[in-house]
Amino acid sequence: AQSVTQPDIHITVSEGASLELRCNYSYGATPYLFWYVQSPGQGLQLLLKYFSGDTLVQGIKGFEAEFKRSQSSFNLRKPSVHWSDAAEYFCAVVNTGNQFYFGTGTSLTVIP
Amino acid sequence: KAGVTQTPRYLIKTRGQQVTLSCSPISGHRSVSWYQQTPGQGLQFLFEYFSETQRNKGNFPGRFSGRQFSNSRSEMNVSTLELGDSALYLCASSLEDREDPRFFGPGTRLTVL
Protein backbone atom coordinates (compact mmCIF):
# COMPACT_ATOMS: atom_id res chain seq x y z
CA ALA A 1 0.00 0.00 0.00
CA GLN A 2 1.15 3.48 -0.67
CA SER A 3 1.84 5.95 2.12
CA VAL A 4 3.76 9.08 2.92
CA THR A 5 5.61 9.82 6.14
CA GLN A 6 6.74 13.22 7.27
CA PRO A 7 8.79 12.48 10.38
CA ASP A 8 8.95 16.05 11.64
CA ILE A 9 5.70 17.39 13.03
CA HIS A 10 7.15 20.81 13.75
CA ILE A 11 10.37 22.58 12.77
CA THR A 12 11.68 25.96 13.88
CA VAL A 13 14.37 27.78 11.92
CA SER A 14 15.86 31.25 12.02
CA GLU A 15 15.21 33.60 9.17
CA GLY A 16 18.01 33.30 6.64
CA ALA A 17 18.92 29.77 7.70
CA SER A 18 18.63 26.79 5.40
CA LEU A 19 15.70 24.42 5.57
CA GLU A 20 15.15 20.75 4.86
CA LEU A 21 11.79 19.05 5.34
CA ARG A 22 11.79 15.28 5.19
CA CYS A 23 9.40 13.08 3.28
CA ASN A 24 9.53 9.31 2.92
CA TYR A 25 7.17 7.39 0.72
CA SER A 26 6.12 3.82 0.36
CA TYR A 27 5.11 2.87 -3.15
CA GLY A 28 5.81 -0.11 -5.34
CA ALA A 29 6.11 1.55 -8.70
CA THR A 30 7.63 4.81 -9.84
CA PRO A 31 6.08 7.38 -7.57
CA TYR A 32 4.59 10.65 -8.61
CA LEU A 33 5.46 13.04 -5.80
CA PHE A 34 4.34 16.51 -4.85
CA TRP A 35 5.02 19.13 -2.20
CA TYR A 36 2.29 21.54 -1.17
CA VAL A 37 2.24 24.46 1.26
CA GLN A 38 -0.73 25.64 3.28
CA SER A 39 -0.90 29.00 5.00
CA PRO A 40 -3.33 29.38 7.92
CA GLY A 41 -6.93 29.33 6.79
CA GLN A 42 -5.97 28.73 3.18
CA GLY A 43 -6.06 25.93 0.69
CA LEU A 44 -2.96 24.11 -0.52
CA GLN A 45 -0.57 25.62 -3.01
CA LEU A 46 1.64 23.46 -5.19
CA LEU A 47 5.36 24.03 -4.64
CA LEU A 48 6.79 21.41 -6.99
CA LYS A 49 6.29 17.96 -8.44
CA TYR A 50 8.32 14.98 -9.59
CA PHE A 51 7.35 12.10 -11.82
CA SER A 52 10.37 11.40 -13.99
CA GLY A 53 13.66 12.75 -15.26
CA ASP A 54 16.05 14.87 -13.27
CA THR A 55 15.91 13.88 -9.63
CA LEU A 56 16.43 17.46 -8.46
CA VAL A 57 13.35 19.53 -9.16
CA GLN A 58 12.93 23.25 -8.77
CA GLY A 59 9.75 24.80 -7.54
CA ILE A 60 8.27 28.15 -6.73
CA LYS A 61 9.40 30.49 -3.98
CA GLY A 62 12.98 29.22 -4.15
CA PHE A 63 12.17 25.66 -3.05
CA GLU A 64 13.71 22.54 -4.48
CA ALA A 65 13.35 18.84 -3.77
CA GLU A 66 15.48 15.82 -4.47
CA PHE A 67 14.09 12.41 -5.30
CA LYS A 68 16.21 9.56 -3.94
CA ARG A 69 14.84 6.20 -4.95
CA SER A 70 17.36 4.27 -2.84
CA GLN A 71 16.14 6.05 0.29
CA SER A 72 12.49 6.35 -0.74
CA SER A 73 12.76 10.02 0.03
CA PHE A 74 11.68 13.30 -1.50
CA ASN A 75 13.02 15.98 0.82
CA LEU A 76 12.20 19.64 0.36
CA ARG A 77 14.93 22.24 0.71
CA LYS A 78 15.40 25.97 0.69
CA PRO A 79 18.79 27.64 1.09
CA SER A 80 17.55 30.74 2.94
CA VAL A 81 14.22 30.87 4.71
CA HIS A 82 12.06 33.99 4.79
CA TRP A 83 9.55 34.83 7.50
CA SER A 84 6.77 34.44 4.94
CA ASP A 85 7.67 30.74 4.56
CA ALA A 86 6.07 29.98 7.92
CA ALA A 87 3.26 27.56 7.05
CA GLU A 88 2.31 23.89 6.96
CA TYR A 89 4.03 21.74 4.35
CA PHE A 90 2.60 18.55 2.92
CA CYS A 91 4.24 15.86 0.87
CA ALA A 92 1.99 13.69 -1.30
CA VAL A 93 2.17 10.67 -3.58
CA VAL A 94 -0.37 9.69 -6.21
CA ASN A 95 -0.93 6.07 -7.15
CA THR A 96 -1.78 4.55 -10.50
CA GLY A 97 -5.44 4.88 -9.60
CA ASN A 98 -5.01 8.64 -9.50
CA GLN A 99 -5.56 8.77 -5.74
CA PHE A 100 -3.57 11.23 -3.67
CA TYR A 101 -2.05 10.27 -0.33
CA PHE A 102 -0.81 13.08 1.88
CA GLY A 103 1.64 13.03 4.73
CA THR A 104 0.60 14.40 8.08
CA GLY A 105 2.37 17.66 7.41
CA THR A 106 5.26 19.60 8.92
CA SER A 107 4.57 22.92 10.58
CA LEU A 108 7.32 25.46 9.99
CA THR A 109 7.98 28.34 12.36
CA VAL A 110 10.45 31.04 11.33
CA ILE A 111 12.02 33.14 14.06
CA PRO A 112 13.60 36.52 13.35
CA LYS B 1 -7.32 31.87 -15.34
CA ALA B 2 -9.54 31.90 -12.31
CA GLY B 3 -8.62 29.43 -9.60
CA VAL B 4 -10.71 26.83 -7.89
CA THR B 5 -13.64 28.36 -6.06
CA GLN B 6 -15.57 26.83 -3.21
CA THR B 7 -18.83 27.97 -1.71
CA PRO B 8 -19.72 28.66 0.96
CA ARG B 9 -16.49 29.44 2.77
CA TYR B 10 -17.97 28.94 6.21
CA LEU B 11 -20.91 26.90 7.38
CA ILE B 12 -22.44 26.13 10.74
CA LYS B 13 -24.87 23.26 11.07
CA THR B 14 -26.34 21.16 13.85
CA ARG B 15 -26.17 17.42 14.29
CA GLY B 16 -28.56 15.48 12.10
CA GLN B 17 -28.77 18.12 9.41
CA GLN B 18 -27.39 17.73 5.93
CA VAL B 19 -25.11 20.02 3.99
CA THR B 20 -24.10 20.59 0.38
CA LEU B 21 -20.77 22.11 -0.58
CA SER B 22 -19.94 23.37 -4.03
CA CYS B 23 -16.72 23.46 -6.02
CA SER B 24 -16.02 25.13 -9.36
CA PRO B 25 -12.81 23.88 -10.96
CA ILE B 26 -10.32 25.73 -13.09
CA SER B 27 -11.60 26.13 -16.62
CA GLY B 28 -10.64 23.11 -18.71
CA HIS B 29 -10.06 20.82 -15.74
CA ARG B 30 -12.18 17.70 -15.83
CA SER B 31 -11.17 16.08 -12.57
CA VAL B 32 -12.43 17.24 -9.20
CA SER B 33 -11.43 15.61 -5.94
CA TRP B 34 -12.51 16.27 -2.39
CA TYR B 35 -10.57 16.07 0.85
CA GLN B 36 -11.39 16.38 4.50
CA GLN B 37 -8.83 18.07 6.72
CA THR B 38 -8.94 17.79 10.49
CA PRO B 39 -6.26 18.34 13.14
CA GLY B 40 -6.46 14.72 14.24
CA GLN B 41 -6.66 12.89 10.92
CA GLY B 42 -4.90 15.30 8.60
CA LEU B 43 -5.81 15.36 4.94
CA GLN B 44 -7.99 12.48 3.88
CA PHE B 45 -9.22 11.71 0.40
CA LEU B 46 -12.97 11.55 0.04
CA PHE B 47 -13.60 10.95 -3.66
CA GLU B 48 -12.72 12.01 -7.16
CA TYR B 49 -14.95 12.74 -10.10
CA PHE B 50 -13.95 12.79 -13.72
CA SER B 51 -16.32 13.55 -16.58
CA GLU B 52 -19.35 13.21 -14.28
CA THR B 53 -18.29 9.77 -13.03
CA GLN B 54 -16.86 8.87 -9.68
CA ARG B 55 -13.41 7.54 -10.46
CA ASN B 56 -12.08 6.97 -6.95
CA LYS B 57 -13.47 6.79 -3.47
CA GLY B 58 -11.81 7.01 -0.10
CA ASN B 59 -12.75 5.27 3.09
CA PHE B 60 -15.67 7.36 4.27
CA PRO B 61 -19.21 6.29 5.21
CA GLY B 62 -22.05 6.49 2.75
CA ARG B 63 -23.26 9.71 4.38
CA PHE B 64 -20.63 11.41 2.26
CA SER B 65 -21.58 11.61 -1.38
CA GLY B 66 -20.83 13.74 -4.36
CA ARG B 67 -21.57 14.41 -7.95
CA GLN B 68 -20.17 16.24 -10.89
CA PHE B 69 -22.04 18.17 -13.53
CA SER B 70 -21.41 18.43 -17.24
CA ASN B 71 -19.56 21.73 -16.74
CA SER B 72 -17.21 19.92 -14.29
CA ARG B 73 -18.59 21.75 -11.26
CA SER B 74 -18.92 19.40 -8.34
CA GLU B 75 -20.98 19.18 -5.20
CA MET B 76 -20.39 17.23 -2.05
CA ASN B 77 -23.19 16.28 0.28
CA VAL B 78 -23.02 15.10 3.85
CA SER B 79 -26.20 13.77 5.38
CA THR B 80 -27.04 13.23 9.03
CA LEU B 81 -24.19 15.39 10.24
CA GLU B 82 -22.13 14.30 13.23
CA LEU B 83 -19.89 16.38 15.46
CA GLY B 84 -16.88 14.61 13.98
CA ASP B 85 -17.72 15.96 10.55
CA SER B 86 -16.47 19.37 11.61
CA ALA B 87 -13.54 20.00 9.32
CA LEU B 88 -12.09 21.99 6.48
CA TYR B 89 -13.32 20.48 3.22
CA LEU B 90 -10.99 21.07 0.33
CA CYS B 91 -11.72 20.66 -3.30
CA ALA B 92 -9.02 20.24 -5.93
CA SER B 93 -9.16 20.25 -9.69
CA SER B 94 -6.77 18.82 -12.22
CA LEU B 95 -6.61 18.10 -15.92
CA GLU B 96 -6.87 14.37 -16.22
CA ASP B 97 -3.82 12.28 -15.58
CA ARG B 98 -1.89 11.02 -12.62
CA GLU B 99 1.02 13.41 -13.11
CA ASP B 100 -1.19 16.45 -13.34
CA PRO B 101 -0.99 18.47 -10.13
CA ARG B 102 -4.08 19.17 -8.14
CA PHE B 103 -4.98 22.82 -7.70
CA PHE B 104 -6.79 23.43 -4.46
CA GLY B 105 -9.54 25.81 -3.53
CA PRO B 106 -9.57 27.77 -0.25
CA GLY B 107 -11.87 25.25 1.39
CA THR B 108 -15.17 25.29 3.20
CA ARG B 109 -14.96 25.37 6.99
CA LEU B 110 -17.84 23.27 8.33
CA THR B 111 -18.69 23.43 12.00
CA VAL B 112 -21.24 20.97 13.39
CA LEU B 113 -22.80 21.91 16.72
Spatial separation of the C-alpha atoms in residues A87 and A105, rounded to whole Å: 10
Check CB contact under 8 Å for B43 and A99: no
- Are residues B104 and A44, on separate chains, in Cβ contact within 8 Å? yes
A41-90 pLDDT, tens per residue? 788 999 999 988 889 999 999 999 999 999 999 999 999 999 999 999 99
**pLDDT at position A89, please?**
98
Per-residue DSSP letter, B63? T
What digits encode the pLDDT tens for the residues B20-29? 999 999 999 9
The shortest CB-CB distance from A43 to any of B31, B33, B105 is to B105
pLDDT digits (tens, 9 = 90+) for A23-34: 999 887 778 999
- Using only C-alpha atoms, chain A has a radius of gyration, in whole angstroms, of 13
Residues across chain B: 113
Is B98 within 8 Å of A42 when comparing Cβ atoms? no
Higher pLDDT, A30 or B73: B73
Asked if A42 lies within 8 A of B106 by C-beta distance, the reply is yes
Q: How far apart are CA A11 and CA A110, in angstroms?
A: 9
**3 state DSSP class of B103:** strand
Largest CA distance in chain B: 39
**pLDDT(B100) > 90:** no
Say what the pLDDT of residue A31 is: 84
Residue A90: enclosing H or E segment and its boundaries? strand A87-94
Tell me if A32 and B98 make a contact (CB, 8 A cut-off).
yes
Average pLDDT over residues B59-69: 96
| Inter-chain residue contact B104 with A96, CB threshold 8 Å | no
Chain A residues inside the 8 Å CB shell of B35: 100, 102
Over 90: is that where the pLDDT of B46 sits?
Answer: yes
**What is the identity of the amino acid at A26?**
S
Q: Which residues of B touch A32 (CB under 8 A)?
A: 98-99
HSE toward the beta carbon, residue B47, CA cutoff 13 A: 21
Is residue A97 over pLDDT 80?
Answer: no
Using CA atoms, how far apart are residues A54 and B90, in angstroms rounded to an integer?
31
DSSP state letters, B25-52 = PPTT--EEEEEEEETTTEEEEEEEEETT
Can you name the residues that pair with A104 across neighbouring β-strands? none
Partner-chain contact B48 A98, CB within 8 Å: yes
**Alpha carbon distance A105, A38 (integer Å):** 10
Of B48, B90, B98, the CB nearest to A44: B90
Instruction: Decide if B98 touches A, using CB distance below 8 A.
Output: yes
- Which residue in A has a C-alpha nearest to residue B4's C-alpha? A43
